[in-house]
Amino acid sequence: MQTSVHSRNYSSHIHQARKRILVAGGAGFLGSHLCEVLLEAGHEVICLDNFSTGLTRNIARLNHSDAFNIVAHDIVLPIELEVDEIYNLACPASPPQYQSDPIHTMKTCVIGSLNLLELAARTGARILQASTSEVYGDPHVHPQVESYWGNVNPFGPRSCYDEGKRCAETLFFDFHKTHHVEIKVVRIFNTYGPRMRPDDGRVVSNFVVQALTGQDITIYGDGSQTRSFCFVDDLIDGLIRMMASSASLTGPVNLGNPREFTIGELAEQVIGLTGSRSKIIHRPLPADDPRQRRPDITLAIRELGWRPNVELASGLMQTIDHFNRLFTRTAPDLAGAI
């Protein structure tokens, strides 16, 4: 099986006894990479997705494997399966996507997590929650450490996602305390790479698509706001290490790249790497958009032996190549892919 995810970091953490692993959101950007790596390691993988943002093309190469099963299902509805491990990656992660149906986003975060936790409690499965740096909101503490409680607007345009993920974390820890479910909670910071959708709406995909198609590159605000960008290979490595860690390590654990860039610097890098003649234009900053975002990964380094390895320029080139391949398809194929 060919894989776009490097195997160099995974061997000591993933090649264990064969397990039956459920990946909720398995057809999405992150989930499809995770499914691929778990299959490559010899596990049986159940990809569960409602395909609201996940794409069948992300997992098409896996269909030939007898160890790979696709279940079209929304985690807002209960599900009965027998599994050893559960990764909960099922939720739109970009503002345009999660804001398009905020009530369903909240249901996915809260009711969906409840359903998967009840499945874990019944089967004895270990379960990992893909939480987010958005739980920190527009932070007053920089860089963000796991002990920081955050600064989140509970009724703003981003709150369906921010507060939904915060509530999901609460559910995870309550199931751990009440039902002794083995939980793992990670807080994911901005992740990018191949298999992002052209209409994803996050800053890396926006800039790359605009540069490749000759559009103006749109920066919201003056471009001085910062983000830390983690390549998908590194993030998947962190998820796997967290799942394999000692039962006593529940989290939350930050997973992200601590190197910080301004949005303006990101735009200039994308223009340079694509050779684009796109101009940079500015638009007003959206409500509740964080001014700074950078993880403190001390805990991940100490407890997981994890740190990101892929430099931004290298990761951007792989992402650009992904979109170049997508855009060179015929128009009908591209329409179906998007």
Q: Which residues contact 17 (CB under 8 A, 6 or more apart)?
A: none
Q: Which residues contact 299 (CB under 8 A, 6 or more apart)?
A: 146, 253, 254
| The one catalytic residue among 10, 87, 136, 161 | 161
Question: What whole-number distance in Å separates Cα of residue 240 and Cα of residue 258?
Answer: 19
Question: What whole-number distance in Å separates Cα of residue 186 and Cα of residue 183?
Answer: 10
161 counts as catalytic? yes
Q: Are 274 and 213 in contact (CB under 8 A)?
A: no
Q: Which residues contact 283 (CB under 8 A, 6 or more apart)?
A: 218, 219, 220
Q: Give Cα 327 to chain centroid, integer Å.
A: 23
**What DSSP string describes 54-91?**
--HHHHGGGTT-TTEEEEE--TTS------SEEEE--S
DSSP character at residue 266: H
What is the set of active-site residues? 161
